[in-house]
Chain A
């Protein structure tokens, strides 16, 4: 099943493909070729296997025409034009090789080599160097110059932990500069100086680390020589084989080539054919894979009777048997419903599927939940209600057709960087941008990108704001009536119309709630409504609220009312936080739903699964995560199997969570590290990283992509095998021999997956569900003909704004909101164990200069943040990115205790926690909080207990 490839470089056509539909016929070296109009001669030649020598051209960036190696002759034309910059025309006859061209190419190559070190044999790019290849291709045999001026002594920049910049090897092709501009959109690199003094410069002659470089790797990818080279290749030499797999970080789901030396990953190279990332990457996926072999990996199963005890390393048999016996004991003592499981968006689809199967069929209850509970459960609810399916409506590429992009509560350049780059590309092409966010996120103003409107609302007022936008659209006759009449439930629309047209929803009436000037809201509403194609992208800034589900519905209403659904360039697009949020939800990891979002009480579905699984199933929805904690404190939920999720760090009101975990009699943690939750565990089952197992991830655009084993599991088993062993030990038999068999079962039992198989994924690279049958290649854009609700019509729902109970007052005058940063991922378990710490070593509290001044706080001071739930201490970062009255932090480090202060408020429909709104007071302090001190002592003690494990 694994597709191991020898390390053939991916074909480089030199210039990007033309999307013209008009075809042009020409002859190259006497061979006929037909290509789309706008194609370069170079690319046309490459399509028939004629590779014209080139150095500055690569198909990820626009042609530049600087190296002059690719010159050709065109019959009837003058001179020797560069084939990369010469478009084809009908009847063209191009010659790519003759003595004159050979002479010119050798002459140019001789110039290059006159300023290049001749250390090929010891060079890190030896065997992977286009300059070397081209010197061979043009037949350079001699360098006649005796150069005086050279760049051979230029100093190497090793400031970036993942790659080095060696300007002595630079040929100034500008591929890195252009990749930084065109692919990544950061504009961190430039050419400094001119003529012979031209050199690549990060920022204004800064080191790479000091510059604005975000370490996405696009420049390294684009470099044809050893100038920009991965540190890992310098240290280990070139890889020898490659396997295509999918990144395990965010919801973009980039496709990568894991380039290997035996079982060692040498580098992760973004796959040009990857349909989510088109050969691009970010600092996490591209470079931060070292955690997989970090010394903190636990590779031996461990058990202990009490969390006061030292861990004991045991055999797999003993660990599994102990875990199963404990679960049975608890069920015997406290009842069938006293145990359950939590799965994670970081697990593969197959792992999640058999986890929920184990719980439903093995435990005999529906106490299964997933971390999507705390992120995108309102998306599942809101979009299911309105559109009929719990998913985003578009593929990522759809953004390239959008004319107005509306971002609400999402931070794509930090949270979904590769898609963020694609979005920026579209914005640089002229699409307009509206950002709804309490904080000035980067995309509001970046090089060559600037939002037309930044609606800087107060946290917790999304519903009021989107309602106001809808009010403007309705009252200014901007509704797409044709769409509404044809595609939507008209009765629901009419009801909504009356509701939303009311003056209480007007921008003027809600200005005092949202804090956004009415005129700005009106202008933004007009811009979105009058766009040819308006596309909405949203994130956790929408969902993680007490009205998260309502906010999702307001967005759905807005898109339906303006007809921005069902075609390319429009849509409602939740940006999923983790790699497999979409997939884990699809796989039936919620307590009330079987795979494919079918309710457990639905008789037909229930009996189908009972037949398939050969057992009786409960038709009662099980416990949600917060209910599990409450039940634990009531002693009615005493055993937990938690896979790949760190509830003890990531869930809100963490003191409550810790107390609940303390109460449980058996906590089984399956993870690759002793995470925070494992410090409360009795059984530790060492799992496998994404590099060590087969499976699939489903990204934010419903794209099911392959995850492939590139090395053997360090602890011996893939996670699906561990769950299967546990199930068998509990007495419910599972006999899968490969995850493909699990996917076959999913496909058989889930209509939207009916046509999915590993063979088809291998053949197509990836599949976007729905994929109803064998013929289908998936569905990039949903609801094109009708909505997926039973009657096919989109449903408008009423969305009254209800203020959160979490109010500011004299005691807690500020609102704390949370977010993430580019270099760290979620709870940081992975990225904190990589060199990514070089960019972000601690979570800090962003506070506006006015609020800081009022409190005598200076940048870098320790500040105590106190809420109704608790207190923690962070360093202050004084910045006007946040508005007065709002403070902000990230939650990537457990010792930060961000969730000590978050409250137990949650979404009315789905219990998604209100992470984004906590009333706090901030004061200058001199030391960490009591909780932090306690946590540190507890954590140190647990690490001691771990250290004792191998000594037992």
Chain B
């Protein structure tokens, strides 16, 4: 009887040698005359352990990591195919504390299944949400989503149910579901993981959304830097069509839902929903003003649901287990779970799905294991390049949209990037302005000219020139950008800049007393 092994096909695992490990195992097995079967699963999200090889045993899946191709021979020698002990032994995967302590709802199958195997997906509770959705009214689908308390996981945290309800109630001959998969925030990868590791959950979520609001066409707007996701999504979509989960007659319901992946052209701003739609329409990725809301006049002027990957991928479990089930996780107005992405200077970077309420400190130390360099963590940027920097004094803040807002910070897409005490926060502020200048679409003046001027002013500040004039000028510029930018790119660039200045004035050559916010 052959032994089954799992080696992730996730691009992070591949980037550190997963494919080489697979080849090495296959060759070694052949050499030794052992019959094995290697399944390319998704990653479990413990990236410091990748490539992680799992062996199926009677006790369960036993993990080894991080495995190098050069380790393979010794693994065979240690009889790893029967769970034998080795320096790289991690024990039962599910018992690894980093994994075990998580509350995986959206990521329930990630790392467990073969991403493009529909049988595997169904065997692991897949398409149960769709089955339920096909049996209830559109209003009831939307009600489940509303009841779940799900808010937009892309960063804006707008209640998903309200958005769907608006599209449902807007009459039109054509409606669309758009999945915003232009995941561009620095230090984030949860969307990519879903798409590479469990694409069917996204397909199912979008199908349910389509049924809920009478949209017959969905588009996944995928950033071009995700070529693996592109391939895997397309394979999964083809499999879903073949099995009648997509098409003119979804599961014999007589209702249509079509799905297509479109690749972006490499602009960060196309992650902003209105410029995303411009780009999908084949135009320059220029931000549109609102109103009209996309829910009323979106893609090609038709009512459109634009949701992030994680929002849509959370829908199947909500429809499977009910809105109440999901809502029972979390705190305050932040319900359910959030897939947090630990990155930057951390010992244990990876994906951690937890209910809202966990503190930054728990994430950084209990999960992240502190800094990789061993130095104290000085600052954390939460929510991508437009998120605020939080100092150590704020590490006990619970992950909660409102708690973060109270600190003039954002949870955003759940990206957490840690910096140790060697970081120069003025350089980071300068970088934020540079990022904005680089990525600005150029439509609105505060962002188009302001970011470039901001970079120039920050260059002066970093060089400690005319601080008495340049610091107030920087604050004034941030005020202009914050209050008058057309979208969040220009409007939120002041978050990292001002939080750096306010929490770390010494890096700007300003003493604390004179740094009136």
Contacts and interface: CB of A to CB of B under 8 A. Distances in A.
Q: Is chain B found bound to chain A in the same assembly? A: yes
A68 B485 contact: yes
A149 interface: yes
Interface in A60-114: 63-68, 71, 79-80, 82, 85-87, 100, 103-104, 107-108, 110-112, 114
A87 B291 contact: yes
Interface in B445-474: 445-453, 456-457, 460, 469, 473
A837 interface: no
Given A111-B450, A148-B456, A66 B483 contact: no
Given A114-B453, A191-B284, A68 B289 contact: no
Most chain A CB within a 10 A radius of its CB, from B449, B452, B483:
B449
A196 B440 contact: yes
A147 B483 CA distance: 22
Nearest to B485: A68
Interface string B378-401: 000000000000000000000000
A111 B444 contact: no
Nearest to B285: A194
* Chain A binding surface SS class: loop
A68 B449 contact: no
Contacts of A108: 445-446, 480, 484
Nearest to A197: B442
19 contacts: A63-B289, A64-B443, A66-B444, A67-B445, A80-B483, A82-B486, A86-B291, A104-B480, A104-B483, A107-B479, A107-B484, A172-B448, A174-B443, A191-B284, A194-B267, A194-B440, A195-B437, A195-B452, A196-B440
Nearest to B459: A148
Interface of B: 267, 284-285, 289-291, 437-453, 456-457, 460, 469, 473, 476-477, 479-480, 483-486
B203 to A, nearest CB: 32
B444 A146 contact: no
A195 B450 CA distance: 10
Contact of B449 (A100, A115, A174, A191): A115
A193 interface: yes
A330 B457 CA distance: 89
Given A65-B486, A196-B451, A107 B439 contact: no
A149 B452 contact: yes
Contacts of B477: 107
B217 to A, nearest CB: 19
B456 A146 contact: yes
Contacts of A82: 289, 486
B486 to A, nearest CB: 6
A53 B446 CA distance: 16
Contact of A191 (B442, B453, B479, B486): B442
B480 A111 contact: yes
Interface string A44-69: 00000000000000000001111110
Contacts of B290: 85
B483 A71 contact: yes
B457 A145 contact: yes
Given A68-B484, A107-B476, 18 more contacts: A63-B289, A65-B289, A67-B445, A68-B445, A68-B446, A80-B484, A82-B486, A87-B291, A104-B483, A107-B446, A107-B480, A107-B483, A146-B460, A148-B456, A174-B443, A195-B439, A196-B442, A196-B452
Contacts of A147: 453, 456
Interface residues of A, number: 40
Nearest to A85: B289
Interface in A100-138: 100, 103-104, 107-108, 110-112, 114-115
B484 A193 contact: no
Contacts of A111: 445-446, 449-450, 453, 480
B364 to A, nearest CB: 33
B442 A172 contact: yes
Nearest to B481: A107
A447 to B, nearest CB: 12
A159 interface: no
Contacts of B476: 107, 144
Contacts of B484: 68, 71, 80, 104, 107-108
Interface of A: 63-68, 71, 79-80, 82, 85-87, 100, 103-104, 107-108, 110-112, 114-115, 144-149, 171-172, 174, 190-191, 193-198
B443 A66 contact: yes
A198 B448 contact: yes
Contacts of A148: 456
Contacts of A85: 289-291
Nearest to B480: A107
Contact of A65 (B444, B473, B479): B444
B266 to A, nearest CB: 11
Nearest to A145: B453
Contacts of B440: 194-196
A935 to B, nearest CB: 53
A195 B451 contact: yes
Nearest to B453: A145
Nearest to B470: A144
A145 B453 CA distance: 7
Contacts of B485: 68
- 3 smallest A-B Cβ distances: which pairs? A107-B480, A198-B442, A65-B289
Contacts of A171: 445
Given A82-B289, A107-B476, A114 B443 contact: no
Contact of A193 (B291, B442, B449): B442
A142 to B, nearest CB: 11
Nearest to A148: B456
A65 B448 CA distance: 13
Nearest to A111: B449
A747 B289 CA distance: 53
Contacts of B480: 104, 107-108, 110-111
A100 B482 CA distance: 12
Contacts of A195: 437-442, 447-448, 451-452
Most chain B CB within a 10 A radius of its CB, from A68, A147, A191:
A68
Contacts of A68: 444-446, 484-486
Contacts of A80: 483-484
Nearest to A70: B484
A198 B449 CA distance: 10
B157 to A, nearest CB: 14
A111 B490 CA distance: 14
Contacts of A79: 483
A319 B447 CA distance: 71
A112 B449 contact: yes
Nearest to B490: A68
B268 to A, nearest CB: 10
Nearest to A101: B483
Most chain B CB within a 10 A radius of its CB, from A65, A86, A171, A190:
A65
Most chain B CB within a 10 A radius of its CB, from A146, A174, A193:
A146
Given A63-B289, A68-B485, A196 B456 contact: no
A446 B448 CA distance: 32
A636 B441 CA distance: 76
A607 B450 CA distance: 79
B485 to A, nearest CB: 7
B349 to A, nearest CB: 31
Contacts of B483: 71, 79-80, 100, 104, 107
B461 to A, nearest CB: 13
A192 to B, nearest CB: 10
Nearest to A195: B440
B486 A66 contact: yes
A112 B485 CA distance: 14
B445 A112 contact: yes
Contacts of A114: 449, 453
Contacts of A146: 456, 460
B435 to A, nearest CB: 11
A86 B483 CA distance: 16
Most chain A CB within a 10 A radius of its CB, from B439, B443, B444:
B443
Nearest to A110: B480
A904 to B, nearest CB: 53
